[in-house]
A and B are shown apart, each in its own frame.
Chain A
Amino acid sequence: MDPLALFTLQVLNALSLSALLFFIALGLTLIFGIMRVVNFAHGAVFMLGAYCGVAAQTATGSFAASLLAAPLAGAALGLAFERSALSRLYAREHSAFLLVTFGLALALTEAIRLIWGADARQTELPAVLAGIVFVMDEPFPVYRLLLIGAGGLCWLLCWLGLQRTRLGLLLRAASQNPTMTAALGNDVGRVRAMVFALACALAALGGALAAPLLSASLGLGSNVIIDAFVIVMIGGMGSFIGTVAGSLLVGFAQTFGNFYVPELALGMTYALMITVLVLRPGGLFGRPE
């Protein structure tokens, strides 16, 4: 294989992986940035998205329906969970959040096992997405291009939303100083609920997008949540631009690591994290806390 073609393919592979990771890491960092909550259930929500997506596609026959159903289910779950459980805990210390979100992760996994069983679930991609394009004479799946596009679009919309809308302003304000934001007459509780629902919707959408590559299985959640935490640590807890950078770094490290040094690839991600944290303890774009 031509070295340039090889490199181009690997860059595209890395971008598509980064895009998938971005969906889950972005929600994690939003929740942390605005609510100061580390959401251990985020991987389980990603997994729920994959199952909901597969179920929706099986029921309707439409892949687009799965990309609609999954974030809706994620948002509904996030909203219900924030209102019923998290909202009672903001006054308490942080360990309460760890326990409650970890509990949600366990409960969600068991609920999925009860509803869909222990076997993996999957559907086939529609023909138009199952095709290939030739990149320098090498076949590359159309679906991975769609992932890259979806990741880019999500980044653009979130950036515009945060920087250019009134809601974004409110979110940034609530992140920097919730007491002051509330004192100015804003309902911080509502902001938190919205953020949590949005973050869960993003994770679930990521799960639905990942399903055609991985199929919906019970191990899905615990697997991606570790990568997502690493990304958030690298980028800086709560930093939007840091999450973008972290997703790209981890995506490229894993893709190129798996190619050149597969035995060390898992370690490379952590080596990257340790290097970043030693040089910048708050992450690339984070504030030291």
Chain B
Amino acid sequence: MNITRRPALAALLAAPALSGVSRAQGQPLKLGVPTAMTGTWAALGAQVVRSCRLWAKTVNAEGGLLGRPVEFLFEDTQGVPANCLRKAQEMVERDRVNILLGLMASSEALAVMPKLADWNALFISSVNGAGSITAEAWVPNAFRANTSGPMGARALALWLRNSPQTNFFSLSLDYAWGRSSVETFEGLLTGIGKRSIGSVFAPVGTRDYSSFITRIRQANPQALYIALTGDDGTAFLRQAAQYRLFERMPVVTETVDMLFTRPAGDAAIGLVGGSRYSFAYDHPANNAFVARFRAEYNELPDTYDGEQWQALEVLRAAVLKAGATDTPSVVAALRDLQLNSIKGPLKIRGCDGQAEQQGFVVRVARREGFPVPAPEVIATFTAAEVTPACRASNFS
């Protein structure tokens, strides 16, 4: 088969409705978003969905993408890989979708990625953090616009290297993510010449953290690392503040997310952590996005509002560069695509689809003009400092 004809042929076979631009003029461009709308990650899924809606509204008001209106198809996966795989397949086969976005759990993305080639579809991650997505599990049709877990942890480690504290204690939830977060953190500490003096794992659903607070005080570390989410994290922050724990030691966490810090109120003040996205990034592109978001929803965009928006801007740039929406053209355009995103300069590197971008460390503080304590950027690292080598998920 002639190489130059292959993309066009593949597109014709896959999705007649989406193939030639001239023929499909005016037909809506359908984008598939199988995401968690109920269940554990419902709050994050809600961010993904509202950002997609705002983007569709914005793009359609400007005349659409390549003259075609964009339309999102949302399906609830509850964060379960088997559901996600089924919903994604339905979108591809029944609705002729060839672009998938907004998958919630890394396990869902890892379930869908091996199928992309068969489906002749592509996937741009906005949420999935697992290092393997751009390493051992990488496939040519998958891209990651967001900051990965290892990249977030790297930024935090670079910041801690310069901190005066040398010994740390960790508190985390007793399940897979919490344990791996502490393990990664303890590895990072060793790498920067600091030391872990112990850790404790609280059962998921712990409400009274007083015993854990006593345990931390007894260990008396110079700083505390926490990997807690949701109601557990809120309960801990509130109670630790009541025991004045934060006056004795700074507290750092993997990712500062407003879903976690907002319910804690003043108790979250002083919390330092990595950040995948924050409204507090002071770039013209971000300030414009925040203003648009606030005008629409009367709320500040949170982590996955921003990450989803960035993924959609990556898609827009790729489609405009390709001048088409079929899978091979967009995949080719995504390789080494460069744009100025809401997080600053961004480049989708060709070798593994990871977006090279800046890394941020933020601190929660009381800020003028905000009703609740909000993050502010305390350190920014270049893409070269925080991005692992090609198809690697660590920095060895």
Contact = CB atoms under 8 A, between A and B. Distances in A.
- Say whether A associates with B: yes
Interface of A: 1, 6, 9-10, 13, 16-17, 20, 118-125, 130, 132, 138-141, 143-144, 210, 212-215, 217, 219-220, 223-224, 254-259, 262-263, 265-266
A212 B238 contact: yes
B263 interface: yes
Given A120-B263, A266-B203, 13 more contacts: A118-B46, A119-B262, A143-B242, A210-B207, A213-B208, A213-B239, A215-B231, A219-B205, A219-B231, A223-B207, A257-B211, A259-B214, A265-B203
A10 B208 CA distance: 12
7 contacts: A17-B210, A141-B243, A213-B235, A214-B238, A220-B231, A258-B206, A263-B174
B67 interface: no
A288 to B, nearest CB: 32
Contacts of B231: 120, 214-215, 217, 219-220
B64 interface: no
Contact of B242 (A1, A141, A220, A257): A141
Nearest to B42: A118
B266 interface: yes
B304 to A, nearest CB: 15
Contacts of A263: 174, 201, 203
B238 A217 contact: no
Contact of B207 (A125, A224, A256): A224
A140 B245 CA distance: 10
B197 to A, nearest CB: 15
Contacts of A254: 208, 211
A275 B266 CA distance: 43
Nearest to B204: A266
A258 B206 CA distance: 9
A45 B259 CA distance: 25
A214 B210 contact: no
Contacts of A214: 207, 231, 234-235, 238
A215 B238 contact: yes
A259 B215 contact: yes
Cβ-closest 9 pairs across A and B? A258-B211, A13-B210, A120-B263, A141-B242, A259-B211, A17-B208, A1-B218, A217-B231, A266-B203
Contacts of A258: 202, 206, 208, 211-212, 215
B270 to A, nearest CB: 16
B321 interface: no
A130 B239 CA distance: 11
Contacts of B266: 124
Nearest to B210: A13
Given A219-B231, A223-B207, A10 B238 contact: no
Nearest to B46: A118
Contacts of B202: 258, 262
B210 A16 contact: yes
Interface centre among A120, A140, A143, A217 (most CB of B within 10 A): A120
A215 B243 contact: no
Contacts of A17: 208, 210
B367 interface: no
A122 B231 CA distance: 12
Given A10-B211, A13-B214, A17-B210, A139 B238 contact: no
Interface in B192-239: 200-203, 205-208, 210-212, 214-215, 217-218, 220, 231, 234-235, 238-239
B208 A13 contact: yes
A214 B206 CA distance: 10
B234 A215 contact: yes
A121 B263 CA distance: 6
Interface in B28-50: 42-43, 46
A212 B235 CA distance: 9
Nearest to A212: B238
Contacts of A124: 265-266
Nearest to B235: A214
Contacts of B43: 118-119
Nearest to A254: B208
B283 interface: no
A8 to B, nearest CB: 11
Contacts of A130: 242
A105 B238 CA distance: 27
B244 interface: yes
Contacts of A255: 208, 210-211
Contacts of B239: 213
A132 B244 contact: yes
A259 B96 CA distance: 55
A215 B218 contact: no
A144 B200 CA distance: 23
A69 to B, nearest CB: 20
A6 B218 contact: yes
Interface in B262-286: 262-266
Contacts of A125: 242
A2 B292 CA distance: 56
Contacts of B212: 258-259, 262
Interface centre among A1, A215, A224, A266 (most CB of B within 10 A): A215
Nearest to A213: B239
B243 A140 contact: yes
Nearest to B262: A119
Contacts of A259: 211-212, 214-215
A111 to B, nearest CB: 17
Contacts of A262: 174, 200-203, 211-212, 215
Contacts of B244: 132, 139
Nearest to B239: A213
Contacts of B263: 119-122, 215, 217
Contacts of B207: 210, 213-214, 223-224
Nearest to B214: A9
B41 to A, nearest CB: 12
Contacts of A256: 211
A262 B171 CA distance: 11
